[in-house]
Amino acid sequence: MIINSANIKPAKVEDKYYLGTLSYTNGQRIGVIRKNGIIIDSTLIIPSIVNGVLSVENITFNLGIETDQDNEKVYYNNASLKVKTYNEGVDILLDKIDIPLELDLDATQQVLEFVNFKTELFKIQDVNIDQTFDIVFQVIVNNSIAQEIFVRFHYKPSNNIGDVNGDGVIDLRDMVALSDYVMQNTPLNKLEFADVNKDHEITKHDVIELSRRVLNG
């Protein structure tokens, strides 16, 4: 089995996409663990996760069509997807998915669409700590042949201190939102990112510190 590509599309959060489609292309590897896969290291991971849960709305794998020893094309009749992790701080929420495959003799690849609706993929147990974890997508065809694609997430909430509106960017809008919270008690989307100066209180001093950081780039 040859996995030409894989696409995992995170779901919207409050009608907005934050993290883009997680795309793997044949040959990509995570060098440090010597596995086929990709690394996701983006501040947009944070607003894509709600109460520790990352939901997706599409998971599709594209398989190359091989030939056997008689030079005949090899097609698969069924496929399964298992999602797992080896990290104790993450829970997998997506159960095994089994799908039949239709035979198309003119196709240049077999398309395996496992998910086409919003569904929960995994949950982080402690959303307040920096952590790195792998989500492993295991594809099995004809009940016997399996391959795995690793997606390594670098989850760093510490990088988002000051992103009080939770849009993945720290800018003037966060300054205004934090000021409104301190002066008028206006609710914040991400209160956990409001203690900018880390004195365990949210006051005007956090507004001043956030303003300094934004204005100084």
Fold classification of 161-215 (topology level): Type 1 dockerin domain (1.10.1330)
Question: What does the pLDDT profile of the chain (217 residues) look like in tens digits?
Answer: 999 999 999 999 989 899 999 999 999 999 999 999 999 998 899 889 999 999 999 999 999 998 888 988 888 999 999 999 999 999 999 999 999 998 888 888 999 999 999 999 999 999 989 999 999 999 999 998 899 999 999 999 878 899 998 887 899 999 999 999 999 999 998 898 999 999 999 999 999 999 998 988 7
Digit-coded pLDDT (tens) for 20-48:
999 999 999 999 999 999 999 988 998 89
Nearest CA-CA partner of 169 in 20, 21, 41, 42: 42
Tell me the CATH number of domain 2-157, given options 3.30.70, 2.70.50, 3.10.450, 1.20.1260: 2.70.50
Domain boundaries, the chain: 2-157, 161-215
Residue 160: half-sphere exposure toward Cβ, Cα within 13 Å: 28
204-215 vs 172-184: helix crossing angle, rounded to 10: 170
- At residue 12, what are phi and psi to the nearest 5 degrees? -65, 150
- Give CA–CA dist 176/180, Å, rounded: 6
Averaged pLDDT of the chain = 93
